[in-house]
Amino acid sequence: MTPFRNQFANFRKKIMPTEASQVHDDVNAVGEARPRLICGLGNPGSKYIGTRHNIGVSCLDELMVTYSLASDRKKSSESTFGEIEINGNKILLAYPTSFYNETGLGLAKKIRKQGIKPSEIVVICDDIDLPAGEVRMRLTGGNGGNRGLKSIINVLGTQHIPRIRVGIGRPIDENGKPVYGSDEIANWVLSRPHSSDLNQLSSATSLMVAAIKISIAEDNEAAMNFLNSDT
């Protein structure tokens, strides 16, 4: 009987792009790449619509509204995919139907089928350690405690995956101190933003749309420089 570790290794080979380990060890290649698929992290189901943890999905919805040239969404067993067109480039939008922390497997199957490299993905996720509405982009790095991003990195076997982080802020206790308890954090990310944060989050989605357009017209590094600029 094949040991479980070998079974898992064989399974990963089937779902991972064959060139991932050779092509994407160079972060410069990630900066020069342009996205072919945008993955918005979130949870499936109507009860999660508009929650802080679904800000990535909200950003995909904004892209669909802005670029509705090919706005049909196609369902698969793992994800629902939309397609938009920007400057003549067709871009897939991945709406996961698996729960947040298990995003990686469904995404890996899709990019393998489409021949998409990890550097050609942009993951949009919420970040509890950024103030509400602040937006930052990185081309590589660890998961920063984000379990959805951790799932993607683990399954694809590389950290060289562009990601846009949208701040949702950290909850504050009655004494004005940041909250770190797991139950409180879970309640926070699965609830909807305060009305006082909505304008900032709306501005964040607009920035994200502009950054995606730049990344397609130029490259990922240009989009990162745009989003991370303080001006």
CATH number of this structure's domain 32-228: 3.40.50.1470
Q: Using CA atoms, how far apart are residues 90 and 54, in angstroms rounded to an integer?
A: 24
Q: Enumerate the active-site residues.
A: 53
pLDDT, tens digit, 9 for 90 and up, residues 173-221: 989 899 999 999 999 999 999 998 999 999 999 999 999 999 999 999 9
Q: Using CA atoms, how far apart are residues 213 and 209, in angstroms rounded to an integer?
A: 6
- Residue 178 is classified by DSSP as B
Domain boundaries of the chain, sorted by first residue = 32-228
pLDDT, tens digit, 9 for 90 and up, residues 15-36: 444 444 344 446 678 999 999 9
pLDDT, tens digit, 9 for 90 and up, residues 58-93: 999 999 989 875 445 555 545 577 889 898 899 999
Are β-strands 89-96 and 79-86 bridged in parallel, bridged antiparallel, or unpaired? antiparallel
C-alpha pair distances (Å), 192 with each of 44, 51, 82, 147, 154? 15, 4, 24, 19, 29
Instruction: Please report, as a single letter, which amino acid is at residue 42.
Output: G
Identify the band that residue 10 occupies on the pLDDT scale cut at 50, 70 and 90: low
Predicted local distance difference test score (pLDDT) of residue 13:
47
Report pTM. Answer: 0.84
